[in-house]
Amino acid sequence: MITVSNQEGDTIRQIQVRAEPSDMQFSTMKTDDQTSAAENTISVVIGRKTLFLFNLNEPDNPMDMEFQQRYGNIVCYSWYGDGYIMIGFSRGIFVVISTHKQEIGQEIFQARGHKDNLTSIAVSQTLNKAASCGDNCIKIHDLSELRDMYAIVNLDDENKGLGMLSWTDDGQLLALSTQRGSLHVFLTKLPVLGDSCCTRIAYLTSLLEVTIANLVEGEPPITISVDVEPTFVAVGLYHLAVGMNNRAWFYVLGENAVKKLKDVEYLGTVASICLHSDYAAALFEGKVQLHLIESEIADAQEERETRLFPAVDEKCRILCHALTCEFLIYGTDTGVIQYFYIEDWQFVNDYRHPVSVKKIFPDSNGTRLVFIDEKSDGFVYSPVNDATYEIPDFSPTIKGVLWENWPLDKGVFIAYDDDKVYTYVFHKDTIQGPKVIWAGGTKLPFAHKPLLLYNGELTCQTQSGKTNNIYLSTHSFLGSSKDAGPEELRQMLAQTLTLRRFTDAWDICRTLNNPAAWSELARGCLYHMEVDFAIHVYRAIRNVGMVMSLEQIKGIEDYHLLAGHLAMFTNDFNLAQDLYLASSCPVAALEMRRDLQHWDSALQLAKRLAPDQIPFISKEYAMQLEFTGDYANALAHYEKGITGDNKDHDELCLAGVAQMSIRMGDIRRGVNQALKHPSRVLKRDCGAILENMKQFSEAAQLYEKGLYYDKAASVYIRCKNWVKVGELLPHVSSPKIHLQYAKAKEADGRYKEAVVAYENAKQWNSVIRIYLDHLNNPEKAVSIVRETQSLDGAKMVARFFLQLGDYGSAIQFLVLSKCNNEAFTLAQQHNKMEIYADIIGSEDTSNEDYQSIALYFEGEKRHFQAGKFFLLCGQYSRALKHFLKCPSSEDNVAIEMAIETVGQAKDELLISQLIDHLMGENDGMPKDAKYLFRLYMALKQYREAARTAIIIAREEQSAGNYRNAHDVLFSMYAELKSQKIKIPSEMATNLMILHSYILVKIHVKNGDHMKGARMLIRVANNISKFPSHIVPILTSTVIECHRAGLKNSAFSFAAMLMRPEYRNKIDAKYKKKIEAMVRRPDTSETEEATTPCPFCQFLLPECELLCPGCKNNIPYCIATGRHMLKDDWTLCPHCDFPALYSEFKILLNTESTCPMCSERLNSAQLKKMLDCTPYLRAEMGQ
C-alpha cells in the first residue's frame, strides 16, 4: 500500500500495489502542460522487478514498467534532466528511460557497465555526470554522451564488494560505502581559484597546494603548501595570500624560497582580496580594508598602515575593488567609482554612474578601467579625462575582464564568460575620437578560467589544477603567414589594423604585394593618426601627393586640427569640418569647403568665420550655379559678390550679372552692362546668348563692339541689314559672309561691288562670269583663269571667245577646262591643229588626245609633227618612221627626236633601224658622228658613247676645232664618272693634251710665259694630234720657250720647223728669227722645279704626270697643267676636277670661269681639302 499525505498529515491518495514497494522518490513527469513545475509523480520499485509511476494529477492512470528478466533485479534508480530516469540492475546493466508521453516505456539507452554486478548509481546534474559502481570499480559517464566513458576508478582492496554511491550538491565530492564498512570520498574537481599580478599568476593545484608561475619572464614555477583549503587566492609582486572565511594567510615570495609571513583576521567573511607591492586590500561585507602586508617596513607611518573604506558617514556598500601600484579603486552600490591614491593617502578621483557598479577591472597602471554595472552593461572609464565609453556587444553573462599585459599592445582587453572570450580594443586616438571596438570572439574550452593575457596568448586555469594556453582568434597573424592564402592574409591585415599592430600589417602587405592592401594600411594609419607610419606607407606605394601633404601636417600639435586634416584625407568631410571647428584654426573648415566647391556650406561657415570672404565665395558659387543652369540664383550670387574695391573680381561679377540678366530675360540691363564692361570676350559670349535667343540686332551690336566683325556681319545678314554689312566688310575675313554680300549686290545690279565681294570670297567662277557677262572685261577674266586654273571659268572664257570667232583662244581655254574633244573638233574644223598641238604638248594630257593629233598630222603628211605626237603617246615605232621620213630641212631636229624615241623605247629593232639610217645604209649619206654619240648616250651605252666621243673629238681636232673636241671629251668624261664606269686611258690622255692647249692661251694672256711654254712643250710633243696647225703650234712653242729662257727646248723645236715639209709654211714674221736660232744654237736651259708625288712623295718635275717612283698617273691641276700636290689640293665645285688651291685662286683673279667645265666660279667658292686620300684612291681605282 502507498499512502500520500499533505503537510497536516491528511491522507490525499492511497493506492494498492501488488508486491513490496521500495526506494520511493518524488519527481516531475513531463506532460504536454508546460505550466506544471511541481513534483507531480511518485516513483517506486515494486518487488525489485518493476518501476511503478503514479501521477498525482491522474490517479486513475498509474503506470507499471517491467524490464527484461536478463537484466536482473532493480538495484537503484535516479531521475535526472528533462524527465529521464536512469535505472541500475543487479547484473551490471543500466538503462535510461524517458517519461515523455510520446516516448514513455521506451529504452533511450542501455549498456552493460559492469561484468558481474552493479550495486549503486548516482547522478550529478551540476557536473552533468553519472557514476555507477560494481565489480570493485566506479565508472563515470558523461550524461550528454553516455556511450563515452569519462573515468574509471578501481578499488582492488575492497574484496567484500561495494555499497552505495552519492555526490555532493556541487559535484565536487563523490562518496562510496563498501561492504567492508569503509567510506571512500573522491575529489572530482578542484575549486577554480587563481589570480594574476602583471605577468605572474597563482592558481590552486590541489586542495592544499598553490602554484606560482611567471612564464613570460621565464621564472620556474613555485609550489606552496598551504594550511587550509582556501576559498580565495591573491598574488602580488612579492606576496601570496590565501584564505577562507575571515582569515587570510600571507606568504613572502623570496628568490629561492617561499616563507609564511603572517595570518590576518578581518572583521567579516572575505569576499575577495587584492595585493600589489606593499599593500593588500580585502573586501568583506560591503567594506574594504587597505593595510600594509609587511608592517615592519621602516618608513611606514602609523596612520598609513591600515584604513577602512568607506568612511563611517558614507551610506554605501562597496561591491568590488582592485589594487594597482598606485591606487586603490572600488565601486559601490550607489554607482560611485573611487580612486584612492596610496602615495598621498587621499582620494584623487571619483566617478558617479547612474546605477551600482558590480565589478571593476583596471589595467596595470590604473589609467584605464573596465567596469560592469548592475544592468550587466560594460564600460571603459578613463580617469584622466573622466570619460566613459560603452563597450559594444557586451554579453550580460560576462564573468570577468583581463587587460593585455604585452607592453606594446595598450588598449587591448578581453571579456569572458563560461563559453567564449571577446576581444576588445580601446582606441584612444582616432580621427573619430576615443572608441571601444569589438575585435572578435574566441571559443573557450569547457571549465577554463582565463588568468593572464599576453600578446594574444590567453593562459587559463582548468578544473584539474593545471594551466592551458589558448591563442585568440583575433591574433592569428602572430602565427606564420607564409603558408596563408590571399583571403586569409586579408583577414589578418584587418586584425592587425583593428589592434593597431602596424608593423605586422606592413609585413602582411609586403607578402600580399597588393595595391588594395597597401591602401587599406594607409587608411588605417590615417584613422589612428599614425602620421609618421602613414608617410612610410605612402612613400612605399609612391603616392607623392599624400607624402607631401602628410609631411606638411605632421608637426601639428592641436589634436582636433590634425584629426581634421586626416579626416579630410579619408574623404570624411563632415567629420573634418566638425574637427576643424573644434580646433584652434576653425577657418580651415571654410578653406576645405571652398576647395571641395561645397559653396552652400562654405557660405554658412564664412558668415561665422570670415565675412570678408563672402563676396569671393558668392562669385565661385554663382559660376557653379550658372554651369548647372540655375540662372536666377546665379544672378543673385553674382550681385552679392560685388565688393566695390576689388577691380578684377568685380569685373568678373559684373560680367556674370550681364550674362545672367540676359538669360533671365532682362535684355536691356544685360546689354547695357556688357557694353559698359571692358571685356571683349564678355561681349562675344553675351552676343552668342542673344543670337540663340533670336535677338539679332542686340547680338550684332555686341559683336561689333567686341570687334568680332565676322560674327557681327553674319548676324546683320540674318536681319538683312546690308548697309551695316557693307560697313563691316573691310574688317571681315570669312568668305561665307563676303559671298552672301556679293549675291545680294549682284541681285541689286551693283556688279562692281559684287565682283569685289566675290573676289574676297574666293568665288572665282562668279568673278569670271560677272567680268564676261556684265562688266565686259575679258582681259581680267582671262588673267583670273590663268591665275586660278579654274575649269568652269576656262569653259566660260572659251565660250566667250567662240562667240567672238577667236578660235585660237577658244581652243586654248577649252584645253584649259579639260574639254580636249571639243578643242580637237574645233581645231579640225578651223584648221588650227598647230595651235591645239602646241597647247596640248605643254599640258598634262592623255595618250588618246596625243594619238588623235598624231593621226591628223599623219594624214596631212606632216611627218615631224606626226612623229612628235606618236612619241608622246608611246607609239615609238610609228614615231621613228615619221622622224626618219622628215625632209632634209628638218633633218637635224628630226634625228635628235629619233634618238629620244629610241632612248625611251629601248627596242633593239628600232635601235638598229636608227643606226642604219645614221650610217647612211638607206640613202648612202652617213650622218654626223655626233648623232651616233647622242644615240649611245640616250641608250646609256656609255662605253660605245665614249669610243664615239673619242672619234668625234679626233675629227674636231683634225679640223682644228680644239675647244669643241675638249668639250666633247669633258662631257663624256663627266658622264662616265657619274655612272662609275672606268675612263678609257686614251680619252683621259686626249682630254689632258687638249686641256693643256687651252691653258696656253690663258697663261700667255696673263703674261706667265713659263707656264705657257711648259704647256706648249707638252702639246708639241704630241703634235701629231693637231695636224691642221702643226706649224703655228711649233712656231708658238719656239717663241714662248725663247721668252721663258728655255733656249735648248726652243732650239730643238726650231730645228723641227726647218724640215722641208714645214719650212715654207712658217710665218714670214718669225722665219728669219727661227733660222738664226738654228744657225747659232744656245743650249742653256732653266731647270724645271721638282715637287713630291702625292702618292709616294718621290720628287719629280712639276709638269711630269707619270711618277717614276710608284708608276702612278698623277692627277693634273686644271689651272696650271702641273701634277697635283697633296698639301695644296682643291676641287672645282662644278666639275669635281682637281686644282692646286694657291694657283687656282691666282687664276680666278683674272678669269671668271673654270678652265675645264667653263662654269662661272669665284675664289670664295673654293675650299682647300685637308685630306685628298679619297680622290687619290679613286684615281688608283681608275
Is 404 within 8 Å of 413 (Cβ atoms)? Answer: yes
- According to DSSP H, which parts of 469-514 are helical? 486-498, 502-512
Supply the DSSP symbol for 751: H
Is 553 within 8 Å of 576 (Cβ atoms)? Answer: no
Average pLDDT of the segment spanning 934-941: 61
pLDDT per position as a tens digit, 374-406: 999 999 999 998 999 999 999 999 999 999 998
For 104-110, the CB contacts below 8 A with 24+ separation are 104/63, 105/63, 105/65, 108/84, 109/146, 109/147
**Of the segments 4-13, 272-281, 505-514, 688-697, which one has the largest average pLDDT value?**
272-281
Residue, of 725 and 1155, whose pLDDT is higher = 1155
- What pLDDT shows up at residue 356? 94
The b/e string for 832-843 (b: 16+ C-beta within 10 A; e otherwise) is bbebbbebbeee
- For the packed helices 876-884 and 863-872, what is the interaxial angle rounded to 10 degrees? 160
- What pLDDT shows up at residue 547? 92
Q: How confident is the model at residue 933 (pLDDT cuts 50, 70, 90)?
A: low
User: How far is the C-alpha of 161 from the C-alpha of 524, rounded, in Å?
Assistant: 71
| Other CB atoms within 10 Å distance of the CB of residue 694 | 9
- Cα–Cα distances (Å) from 363 to 377, 411, 993, in that order, read 19, 9, 121
- Give me the numbers of helices (H) and strands (E) for the chain, helices first please: 41, 49
In 3-state terms, what secondary structure has residue 963? Answer: helix
pLDDT per position as a tens digit, 1105-1147: 899 988 888 999 999 999 999 889 999 998 889 999 999 898 8
Range of lowest pLDDT (520-529, 720-729, 798-807, 1019-1028):
798-807
pLDDT per position as a tens digit, 563-601: 999 999 999 999 999 988 899 998 888 888 888 888 788
Among candidates 818, 819, 815, 821, which has minimal Cα distance to 838? 815
pLDDT at 934 over 70: no
- What pLDDT shows up at residue 787? 63
- What pLDDT shows up at residue 730? 64
Average pLDDT of the segment spanning 422-444: 92
DSSP state letters, 575-628: HHHHHHHHSS-THHHHHHHHHTT-HHHHHHHHHHH-GGGHHHHHHHHHHHHHHH
Label the pairing between strands 467-471 and 457-462: antiparallel
User: In this prediction, what percent of the chain has a pLDDT beyond 90?
Assistant: 24
- What pLDDT shows up at residue 242? 94
User: How far is the C-alpha of 592 from the C-alpha of 569, rounded, in Å?
Assistant: 11
- What pLDDT shows up at residue 404? 92
Among candidates 837, 840, 839, 847, which has minimal Cα distance to 871? 847
Q: How confident is the model at residue 422 (pLDDT cuts 50, 70, 90)?
A: very high
| Other CB atoms within 10 Å distance of the CB of residue 1002 | 18
In degrees and rounded to multiples of 5, residue 185 shows phi and psi of: -120, 125
Average pLDDT of the segment spanning 938-943: 62
User: How far is the C-alpha of 962 from the C-alpha of 1051, rounded, in Å?
Assistant: 26
Residues 6+ apart with CB under 8 A from 914: 880, 884, 898, 899, 902, 935
749 CB burial (10 A radius; 0-12, 13-18, 19+): exposed
In degrees and rounded to multiples of 5, residue 1084 shows phi and psi of: -70, 145
117 CB burial (10 A radius; 0-12, 13-18, 19+): middle
Residue, of 181 and 413, whose pLDDT is higher = 413
Which position has the grid cell 551693283? 750
C-alpha cell at 411: 588598449
Q: How confident is the model at residue 908 (pLDDT cuts 50, 70, 90)?
A: low
User: How far is the C-alpha of 582 from the C-alpha of 241, rounded, in Å?
Assistant: 51
User: How far is the C-alpha of 1122 from the C-alpha of 29, rounded, in Å?
Assistant: 148
Is 915 within 8 Å of 932 (Cβ atoms)? Answer: yes
User: How far is the C-alpha of 349 from the C-alpha of 347, rounded, in Å?
Assistant: 6
- What pLDDT shows up at residue 804? 54
User: How far is the C-alpha of 460 from the C-alpha of 470, rounded, in Å?
Assistant: 8
User: How far is the C-alpha of 274 from the C-alpha of 328, rounded, in Å?
Assistant: 9
Is 853 within 8 Å of 866 (Cβ atoms)? Answer: no
Peptide linkage before 1060 cis (omega within 30 of 0) = no
CB half-sphere exposure, 1111, CA atoms < 13 A: 0
Range of lowest pLDDT (608-612, 741-745, 1003-1007, 1028-1032):
741-745
User: How far is the C-alpha of 848 from the C-alpha of 774, rounded, in Å?
Assistant: 38
Mean pLDDT of the chain: 80
User: In this prediction, what percent of the chain has a pLDDT beyond 70?
Assistant: 76
DSSP state letters, 697-711: HHHHHHHHHTT-HHH
CB half-sphere exposure, 639, CA atoms < 13 A: 10
- What pLDDT shows up at residue 523? 93
- What pLDDT shows up at residue 693? 75
C-alpha cell at 1053: 723645236
- For the packed helices 807-816 and 820-829, what is the interaxial angle rounded to 10 degrees? 160
pLDDT at 304 over 60: yes
Residue, of 142 and 647, whose pLDDT is higher = 142
- Which 3-state string (H, E, C) describes 925-957? CCCCHHHHHHHHHHCCCHHHHHHHHHHHHHHHH
Q: How confident is the model at residue 879 (pLDDT cuts 50, 70, 90)?
A: low
C-alpha cell at 705: 563692339
- According to DSSP H, which parts of 79-195 are helical? none
pLDDT per position as a tens digit, 210-256: 999 988 888 888 888 888 889 999 999 889 999 999 999 999 988 77
Is 884 within 8 Å of 864 (Cβ atoms)? Answer: no
pLDDT per position as a tens digit, 723-754: 666 566 666 666 766 666 666 666 666 666 66
Residues β-bridged to residue 63: 53
User: How far is the C-alpha of 281 from the C-alpha of 397, rounded, in Å?
Assistant: 26
The amino acid sitting at 806 is D
- What pLDDT shows up at residue 1140? 93
Label the pairing between strands 137-142 and 387-390: unpaired
pLDDT per position as a tens digit, 246-266: 999 999 988 777 888 889 999
